[in-house]
Amino acid sequence: MATTADIKIGACIELDGKTYQIVDFQHVKPGKGPAFVRTKLKNLENGRVVDNTFSAGAKVEFVRVERRPYQFTYEDDLGAHFMHTETFEEINIDKNLITNYDLMADGQIVEVMFHTEKETVLSAELPPIVDMEVTYTEPGIKGDTASTNSLKPATVNTGATIRVPLFINTGDKIRVDTRTREYVERIK
């Protein structure tokens, strides 16, 4: 069994019978009293982020996870359906386990994280940057702003709304950061 000294961002641990991913941690040594480790943990079952404090040197049970590439095929009442890119095995994932689900296009390759001992799906992550087409946005008028980085809402081909610069028009192709839902650049 490992200790809090082995904690790192992205690792998965078992706590109170639930699986959590470490989002952030900080080792704190106060002037008085024992050292401790303050963590932010993401519950992989429901996506909630909780704060937890471990005393320094406390035992932590790490979970072995595996990331596998899957391709999004379709969605229905049961959730999102994916196909493994090498074995063609199909799985069904609840939409709540997919971060920024509305940014996922048909045929999108995602990384699905599995709990290797239980062989259950923990979460699915989109690539950090995806290319999208703007299906609707209001036209930007020259001289319409008082500052240089003004943004307007734009609807992309998946139906999601992203804030884009004023020079983006309907039909333009753009890159979007799936972690922050921010516009990155226009594609020629």
For the stretch 149-188, pLDDT in tens is 688 899 999 999 999 988 889 999 999 999 899 999 999 8
Per-residue pLDDT at 46: 76
Q: 112 and 159: one domain?
A: no
* CATH number reported for the structural domain that contains residue 173 in this entry: 2.40.50.140
- Average pLDDT across the chain, whole number: 88
Domain of 20, CATH number, reads 2.30.30.30
Maximum CA pair distance of the chain?
A: 62
pLDDT at 163: 92
Judgement on whether residues 26 and 78 belong to the same structural domain of the protein: no
**Structure confidence at residue 13 (pLDDT):** 92
Structural domains in the chain (count): 3
Cα–Cα distance for residue pair 32/26, rounded to 1 Å:
17
User: Per-residue pLDDT for 119 more than 90?
Assistant: no
As a whole number of angstroms, the distance between CA 21 and CA 2 comes to 15
Mean pLDDT for 87-102 is: 87
Range of the domain at 75: 65-125
Q: How many CA atoms lie within 13 A of 52 on its CB side?
A: 21
With a cut of 60, say whether residue 52 has pLDDT above it.
yes
CA 16 – CA 158 distance, rounded (Å)? 37
Tell me, yes or no, whether 97 and 115 share the same domain.
yes
Indicate if the pLDDT at residue 121 is higher than 90: no
* 132 vs 47, residue with greater confidence: 132
Pair 13, 45 in one domain = yes
Residue 104 corresponds to which amino acid? M
Q: How do residues 130-150 score in pLDDT, each as one tens digit?
A: 999 999 998 876 665 556 668
pLDDT for res 145:
59
Q: Are 179 and 145 in contact (CB under 8 A)?
A: no
pTM check: above 0.85: no
Give yes or no: residues 118 and 69 share one domain.
yes
